Structure 1
């Protein structure tokens, strides 16, 4: 628009400035599965190798262990080295028989993690971290985003009858896998725009039942099928499923094979992941 003398009216001919594009917040939702959780490390390594930036992490059970270490600033190669040198005995502490409610206390796992993380609390992580556990009395899920990292992860990993329940703030907590086997919904609650979920559970029909621990894990798998299917369908943008059919949740000797399975699963799904990430970034 011009005035009568041919000069422009201030501001009227200036095109509106484009609003700066907000970065897409990408989350990694790491599911439970005991020793099968080593596959999460392979997933992280493969994502890093392809320059996929993860902004926040939510973890359940074994996923909370790897998630806490990753959120602290460790990269995939550091996690790989830590996994292959970890002594299984360093995270096992047998409880006194007939005087407890679990075979393992879980304090060894708590101490191992806090020592490795230099006692860094959840809220001081490099990446925002959420740890999912289950309130033993109410059955409700809880998302820990502050406080002692080792204690929260211990609660998230406390498989009933294997680990003793963990008391935090007057409540007792057990394994988060009971209510959120793969915490995609909690990643959304933490502010994620795009959720990459990693499901390391077995299909019930291929589950191993050779030991009492395997039977317990198979029970978890059966119980969690409906919850997991709903959560992944509604909240996950991409689901990575490493091929761990031959691996028991109690077999720490196959940790390297699990890591490789995680890497292979990312390579397989990468075209879909890249396509969906591109579309989501354009929509932000």
Structure 2
């Protein structure tokens, strides 16, 4: 194909002297890219005066330049956004905690609850207990499974935990109970147990609820079990402590403080049924339950699941009913297993949605930061279509 030199009326081929003369007379104009973002200087040629091959190659050059200018920075930002938003959300499993309430001999029901939770793959990893619940809780936190605890409980002789002492602050000193618990946990302090554990007691001087999370396990359990008028108050440091059921019958809040995401509460407290509880221990224990009843109801509402073993007919001193109490704990727990699974799934889904929302917000902020960084490029960098390294400043 040839070019026509209209001025001279002479035809010539591409690459010849006349074609070079034409190119020398080309007008240069400022052309702005289609995206109106990155100005580039391209030569605008009189295409009718050029050979077909030259026109094709020149048009290709223009297209490449425009695409490069339009897509450089926005493409990177878009890629950053898509990567951030498409990341999978992976969360650790929920930490199940259990709050074991007080109730003297009724406390054997806690063993049945733990048995069924373990059997269904819902074993707690955080535990707190009040009074009788602190005894079972300490053994469980020490690493014993529920079947081993049941074996110990069935074989337990009451004389191993009861040391009568008259003319003191209570009928029972409580030292035997302290020694018994310490032997079973291997004489380890609370902080050396297999999982977070808290024993709840009430500070006698000011009525303050106290959770023991360090120190002597047996001593903390003894303080938690010291029913006023029955057990001597336990002196720890500068204070005296009595039964934790006065201030926290079922320690739901304590389990939360220990790091549980999902709290299962076990309520075995005596309710005022119009019947005489009988005996000194029964009378005092029910009095404590009545005192803490309204406080306990408010705390129970903060649990995810509340289990109520049917142990109202078992007296506070009916240690011969321990097997019946364990069985009632099993029955009550089996009945709520489907509800536990459903609520666990709902809570985990809520956590995933919250984490995804946070991740998306972080991605949006990163993209905006990236764009602000790109806008600080110099004119020369924009003309060259060169991106600025904004990765470290935006992520």
TM-score, with length taken from structure 2: 0.68
Aligned partner of 2:235 in structure 1 is 167
Q: Pick the aligned partner of 1:228 from 296, 301, 314.
A: 296
Deviation at 1:130, TM superposition (A): 0.8
Superposition RMSD in Å: 1.7
Using the TM superposition, give the Cα deviation of residue 143 of structure 1 relative to its aligned residue in structure 2, in angstroms: 0.8
Question: Does structure 2 conserve the Cα–Cα contact (< 8 Å) formed by 1:182 and 1:228?
Answer: yes
Equivalent residues, number: 279
Counterpart among 331, 342, 353 of residue 264 in structure 1 = 331
Q: Aligned residue for 1:214?
A: 282
For residues 243-262 of structure 1, the C-alpha deviation after alignment (integer angstroms, 9 at most, x for no partner) is 01210011100000000000
State the distance in 2 between where 1:72 and 1:208 align: 37
2:311 to 225, 241, 244: 244
Distance in 1 (alpha carbons) for counterparts of 2:315 and 2:131: 16
Q: Offset of 1:169 from its aligned partner? A: 1.1
Q: 1:110 aligns with which of 160, 178, 186?
A: 178
Determine which structure has the larger helix proportion and give its number: 2
Residue aligning to 2:36: none
What is the 5 A alignment of 1:1-284?
4=68, 9=76, 12=80, 15-16=83-84, 17-95=87-165, 97-98=166-167, 100-205=168-273, 208-233=276-301, 235-284=302-351
Deviation of 1:14 after TM superposition, in Å, equals 5.4
Give a deviation string over 1:208-228, Cα, whole Å, max 9, x none: 522121111121121111011
Shift, 1:23, TM fit: 2.3
Segments of structure 2 that go 5 or more residues without pairing to the other structure are 1-66, 352-395
SS at match of 1:29: strand
The structure 1 segments of at least 4 consecutive aligned residues displaced by more than 4 Å after TM superposition are 5-11
Q: State the alpha-carbon separation in 1 of the partners of residues 207 and 173 from structure 2.
A: 21
- Summarize the Cα distance change of 1:207–1:197 in structure 2 as closer, same or farther, 3 Å threshold: farther
What is the rounded CA distance, in whole Å, between the counterparts of 2:142 and 2:274 in structure 1? Answer: 34
Alpha-carbon contact 1:122-1:148 (below 8 Å) kept: yes
Match of 2:360 in 1: none
TM-score by length of 1: 0.94
Q: Secondary structure at the match of 2:80?
A: coil
Deviation larger for 159-168 or 273-282: 273-282
Report deviation, 1:25: 1.5
For residue 280 of structure 1, report the CA deviation from its aligned partner: 1.1
SS in 1 for 2:129: strand
